[in-house]
Structure 1
Amino acid sequence: MIAMWVVGHAGGMSVRVVSYNVHSLRDDLGALARVVRGLAPDVLIVQEAPRRWRWRTKCADLAHSFGMYMAAGGMPSLGNVIMTNLRVRVLDQWCMRYPLTPGRHMRGAVFTRLQVPGRAPFAVVGTHLSTDDEERPGQAGLLKPAIDALADPVIVGLDLNECPDGGCWPLLTDRLLDAAELAGQGDRGTFPVPHPTRRIDALLVDPRLEVREYRVVDTPDADRASDHYPILVDLA
């Protein structure tokens, strides 16, 4: 959850993607930076990034603290951000917003089309669905056709705000695969830190991609950095 392409253990090329809900930067920012830098992602998908006043500067500063660069998102995607390292070429980027339900937070999604020189393009999507059980399925219903319209292999990092037995998971995994289940770690919680009881964060991957590793990152720094643990995949 691009482009630090590295030699994977299977002998091919792999890319590291990290998805991370950063709790609106309310926690230990030094620990947060150490977590991300230690994971060295090629692509970072962030939920609850800055989305209001001076959001461009705040998002750029956050990316700098991670040793990364802003690719897309922020206010236009309601706090969903995609960051990359320097080896990634951003071919395109766009955002969508879900309809506003009165009394609820407005939410959205960020999309990027990326390429490492000499490699085929791929798409990365980030979103954060509603905490409301009635509102959330409608958001997932709008997200699915937007994902299905992408021709390139796609990776989606998201906070679904529901466990895998909820109704949005089967809708969004109709085309994509749940990296945790592929890795046999479907029982690993991601929220709340430090004793997670719910898996509400996911990395969904295109079947054309091979999941070589999946991890819930539950280090001491991660305990201090957010109320969610980050999740990581290495993909071929």
Structure 2
Amino acid sequence: MKVLTFNIHHGADHQNRLNLDRIRQVIEQADADVVTLQEVDKHWSDRSRFVDQAAWLGEQLGMKVRFAPIYSLDPLHPGYPRREYGLAVLSRYPIIRFSNHELSRISSQEPEKGVQSLPGFPEAVIQAGGTKMHVFTTHLSWMDPELRLKEADEMMAFIRQARYPVILTGDMNAVPESPEIQRIRDHLTDAFEEKGEGNGMTYPVPQPVRRIDYIFASSQVKVLQCYVLQEEGSDHYGVQAELWIPKEEGMGNP
């Protein structure tokens, strides 16, 4: 199975030029079975032309879609859809269950409220042939390392409840040596560290100097390959892993 994680920067490239079709092209060329996206707009604002980006990408790519808002705001005009921003999971396989968990966050919409519990940690249970898996994706705080560590602990609490093999992806806003990434590695395998090709740097495009986008997997999952997709489209490069996931029998908690 190929899994891709991609911070799409609301469909804009590193020069802030909106081109959602370029994001589609990058995903299509990757030929991934499961795609997780961060920084996704849904009728959000003029910056993304009020498009439901996850739904559009899913339709164009022929993939099933689930969207997990972090923010859900009233529309600018009565009768229009709610303005939402968050993360998404796209899958070629059936998504048999979906949850949008809460983590501790500082809202960019209400920073004066400080740390609060907000949604935006999606979990998709995916049925792929003879196996099921939990796919989580996240976008951790960019401003506060202590908050990221708290978020990592909260994510692991959800992941420890998983019945099937786990894949955790996302923009962690943290380098591999950081305490928050080490906390995740206490429970899950860093796919790039296991089978990575190249230096793994993902941000900023076009000359990245930091590895902050990751794919992690539980112990039942075998990592075959992991690499950065050096295809421009966002201000991040995507990360893709090729994984082997066992059939359902004999599976326990990660």
Alignment TM-score, normalising by the size of structure 2: 0.77
Find out whether 1:32 has 2:23 as its counterpart.
yes
Which entry has the higher C-alpha Rg, 1 or 2? 2
Find out whether 1:196 has 2:229 as its counterpart.
no
1:211 matched to which residue of 2? 223
Percent identity, please. 27
CA RMSD of aligned residues (A): 2.4
* SS at 1:98 equivalent: strand
Q: State the one-letter code of the partner of 1:122.
A: M
Find out whether 1:120 has 2:115 as its counterpart.
no
1:11 matched to which residue of 2? none
* SS at 2:214 equivalent: strand
CA distance in 2, matches of 1:49, 1:130: 16
List 4+ stretches of structure 1 deviating above 6 A. none
**1:212-227 to 2 correspondences below 5 Å:** 212-218=224-230, 222-223=231-232, 225-227=233-235
Find out whether 1:80 has 2:87 as its counterpart.
yes
**1:150-165 to 2 correspondences below 5 Å:** 150-165=162-177
* SS at 1:92 equivalent: strand
Q: Measured at CA, do residues 56 and 30 of structure 1 come closer, stay the same or move farther in structure 2, by a change above 3 Å?
A: closer
Structure 2 unmatched ranges of 5 or more: 14-18, 73-84, 245-254
2:5 matched to which residue of 1? 19
* SS at 1:180 equivalent: helix
Query: How many aligned positions are there?
Result: 215
Q: Measured at CA, do residues 213 and 192 of structure 1 come closer, stay the same or move farther in structure 2, by a change above 3 Å?
A: same
Q: State the one-letter code of the partner of 1:194.
A: P
CA distance in 1, matches of 2:176, 2:43: 31
Q: 1:95 aligns with which of 82, 94, 100?
A: 100
* SS at 2:170 equivalent: strand
Give the drift of 1:37.
0.5
1:6 matched to which residue of 2? none
Find out whether 1:65 has 2:51 as its counterpart.
no
Q: Measured at CA, do residues 63 and 108 of structure 1 come closer, stay the same or move farther in structure 2, by a change above 3 Å?
A: same
* Contact 1:122–1:152, Cα closer than 8 Å, also in 2: yes
Larger deviation, residues 68-77 vs 187-196: 68-77
Instruction: Map Cα deviations across residues 99-130 of structure 1 (whole Å, 9 max, x no partner).
Output: 3435179662100111123x121110000000
1:41 matched to which residue of 2? 32
* SS at 1:135 equivalent: helix
Q: 2:191 aligns with which of 173, 179, 191?
A: 179
Structure 1 unmatched ranges of 5 or more: 1-14
* SS at 1:79 equivalent: strand
